[in-house]
């Protein structure tokens, strides 16, 4: 399948944690309720930093933001914990307009950094 775009983003976890501490409502603005938990347990901030990086990487892979809201692109996990995107609203419309058939995402965190890589295919 042809690649439409590739995006990568890097987040300093300590900086992300400070931002979350300074602005308590930021968590709700960036993430839908189901993105904040896995298996009934709250995700640690390092995992949320990875999810934020994934959202930024997706915007880059699509080529522009098209007024995509943070809740329009939810990072979800399958039964094995593998990440994927659930696209809604403006994100779904942008993907449809570009002819997106598949979105691949991977995330990791180590040494105080979280990184995400996204490939968008037609």
Percent of the chain, pLDDT > 90?
89
Choose the weakest-confidence range: 37-46, 52-61, 96-105, 110-119. 37-46
pLDDT more than 70, % of the chain: 100
Tell me what the pLDDT averaged over the chain comes to.
95
Strands annotated E in 13-82: 37-38, 41-42, 73-77
Residue 81 reports pLDDT greater than 90: no
pLDDT for 21 beyond 80: yes
How far are the Cα atoms of 1, 21, 97 from residue 53, in angstroms, in the given order?
Answer: 25, 18, 23
* Residue among 37, 59, 54, 61 at smallest CA distance from 108: 54
How many domains does the chain divide into? 1
Backbone angles phi, psi at 70, to 5 degrees: -60, -35
Q: What is the rounded (10 degree) CA torsion for 102, 99, 108, 116?
A: 170
pTM of the model as a whole? 0.94
Burial of 75 by CB count in 10 Å (0-12 exposed, 13-18 middle, 19+ buried)? buried
Question: What is the DSSP-derived secondary structure letter of residue 14?
Answer: H
pLDDT at residue number 99:
96
What's the pLDDT tens digit per position in 31-75?
999 999 988 899 999 999 999 999 999 999 999 877 999 999 999
CA–CA distance, 2 with 120 (Å, rounded to integer):
9
Question: pLDDT class for 79, splitting at 50, 70, 90?
Answer: confident
> Rounded to whole angstroms, how far apart are CA atoms 83 and 13?
19
Per-residue confidence (pLDDT) for residue 108, from 0 to 100: 96
Q: What is the CATH number of the domain that holds 7?
A: 3.90.470.20
Full domain range(s) for residue 8: 3-121
């Amino acid at each position: 399948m042809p690649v439409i775009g590739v995006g990568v983003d890097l987040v300093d976890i300590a900086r992300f944690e400070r931002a979350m501490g300074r602005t308590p409502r930021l968590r709700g603005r960036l993430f839908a309720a189901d993105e904040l938990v896995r298996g009934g347990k709250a995700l640690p901030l390092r995992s949320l930093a990875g999810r934020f990086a994934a959202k930024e990487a997706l915007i880059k892979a699509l080529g522009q933001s098209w007024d995509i809201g943070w809740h329009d692109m939810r990072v979800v996990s399958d039964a094995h914990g593998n990440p994927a995107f659930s696209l809604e609203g403006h994100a779904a419309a942008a993907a449809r307009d570009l002819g997106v058939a598949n979105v691949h995402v991977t995330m990791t965190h180590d040494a105080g950094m979280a990184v995400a890589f996204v490939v968008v295919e037609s």
